[in-house]
Structure 1
Amino acid sequence: MKPYFSSREIRALMIFLPLCVLAVAGMRLARPKAGPAEVCAVAHEAERPADSVRLFRFDPNTIDYAGLRQLGLTAYEAASLLKYRAAGKVFRIPEDVATCYGFTDSLYFRLAPYIRIGRKYAVAPPAYRSERVVRQPLAPAPFLIDTVSALYLRAIGALSKRQAEALVRWRDLHGIRDMEELRECYVVSDSVAAALEPYVRFAVRHDPAAERVELNRADSAALCSVYGIGAKSAAAILRYRERLGGFRCVEQLAEVREVTERNYERIVKQIWCDSCEIQKIDINFAAPNTLMRHPYLPPRIVRKLLRERQLKGGWTTVGELVRQNILTEEEAARLAPYLRFGSRNDPGNDAASHGEALEMQERIY
């Protein structure tokens, strides 16, 4: 049987192995031995707190390792808390900190005064949840309804947030001049109005009857000064007045689409009409476009007028238009103040037609 090693290899191993043993023994002899104090320090390194201890308020859900060490925790205790969080645990109340592995009661009682659980993690008892807390309302004081804010109405407990905002929008759109108009707001109940009445104050305004606006001479600025007329409705009134030739009476203002029924009741108390300012149409000579522009002359009547005027040549009184079935008595009474008959320089025909128009209006109305 052939041997595993040759005689030469055996001699080399016998020399190499003693040399290795000597080298290892020399290295161990050359290494300095640790004293008992050093061995204790190494063994208890994880138990030694940080050199500078500083207690401060902290949230155990967000504090890092360095912060824990500054609080005086050992490396082992700080790592234990971080492992607790890494496992998906959340500190809901301060007492949860005491459940960390390695935390003693003395350590928890030392940290307890400084533990602050953030709102994101804390669990509040149902009786103290923020949505169930009813704030103490402010004591109401006299306030001006024209300038009061929705925030103040909420603060005194008069209305909810949505109701207060709705009241302010209503006031800005319609205006509130007295308690009656305040009660008209759909969010103000009778009980709320009764509670607010001792404190609500209304702005002092001039008597509109003492400073009435003449409707046929007023410009846009004068119309906007009337309570109940805004910029949009003022422009609509001026356009309608131009088409009409002027207002004969204040009731005609209700024919303007932009004037609501509620605002109309306010406006009529602040305006008056001078019927002498009406611009009349000479029905015997007016162009078709002029006739078509008038709101009281629909196309069917204009076609009849033009056809009969071409055949007959014209009219002298509004009664002739009724007798020829061009106008009904109601249409003639409404249109008569805006018509001229005959020559523009013949005042006699105008006086006769005006007298007939008044007689017809009295008969109808």
Structure 2
Amino acid sequence: MIRKIISQLQDFFGISRKEARGALVLIILMSFLIWTPFVFRRLILPHFPIPFTEKKLNTQKLDSIVAELNKEAPEKPGFNNYEKKEFSKKAEKPIRLFPFDPNTASVEDLTTLGIPEFLAKRIEKYRSKGGKFRKKEDLLHIYDFPASTYKSLEPYITLSVSKIPVNSEKPVFTPDRKFADVPARGNNYVKPALVPFDINTADTTQLIKLKGIGSKLSVRILKFRDGLGGFHSTSQFSEIFGLDSVAVTELNKYAKIGTAVKKININTATVEELSSHSYLRNKKLANVIVNYRNQHGIFSSAEDLKKVKVLDAVTIEKLVPYLAY
């Protein structure tokens, strides 16, 4: 019977026989610990009742303590003040709609308009990092900004952002043009405009040009990308730890997917290769996949991965673009 249970544990969890034995011992120990208090209260404790005299003494002692407290209570003013004290709920700030510019409105103005305080602070942080609202719809680029709130505020949004003039006299470099002909850099110098780039081949020098991304974040983005084998969708940017709405907006605007991702052959990959992937950082999880493959044969599709019980549907969905069979 024990062998049968061990075999079932192996098939269910995709683990080795040694690990299945350990799991069985752990289950038995946990069952013992869970049931011990119940058995003690139901079967053992009733055989050791508290003597009547002791019970009576305890009751008398409690009664004397209560009488003592009741006697002292009137003598001490405010003895029960804490219990009787009523705490009034913080009054909710009334919502008032009025014309506002999201580029200049204060946190207090935004909360008065019905925007939650955490979103109002997020808008202020976005502006402090150089972010600008050039269209009314740009408010929806703020992470978690409710569409219903935007709909009610849209008629009251007024924007006064002036467009940056384009310098038509910006020098153009040609192979046969002399350096003497190029006008000296002065107050009229315009910073070169950012151009879209391939995120799967980009380096830190390209990333740190974007708003909200410094040297540390740029290294983290590349580390996450290399662990994946490349980005297959811009929606993956929001999975990178530490990126705020400003950085994600900038990446969505300039970082494009121009190179195919590097795939892993799920039927030949080692535990080390699997655990190095950004979606499979758990070495034990990679070990279960390899053990299951060794016991049940190769994987022919993503449907076969669903048979590995420790893999949830979300992880499988994320892995699919990176797997080869």
Normalization by structure 1: what TM-score?
0.37
Higher RCO structure, 1 or 2 (CA under 8 Å, sep 6+): 2
Q: Whose radius of gyration is greater, 1 or 2?
A: 1
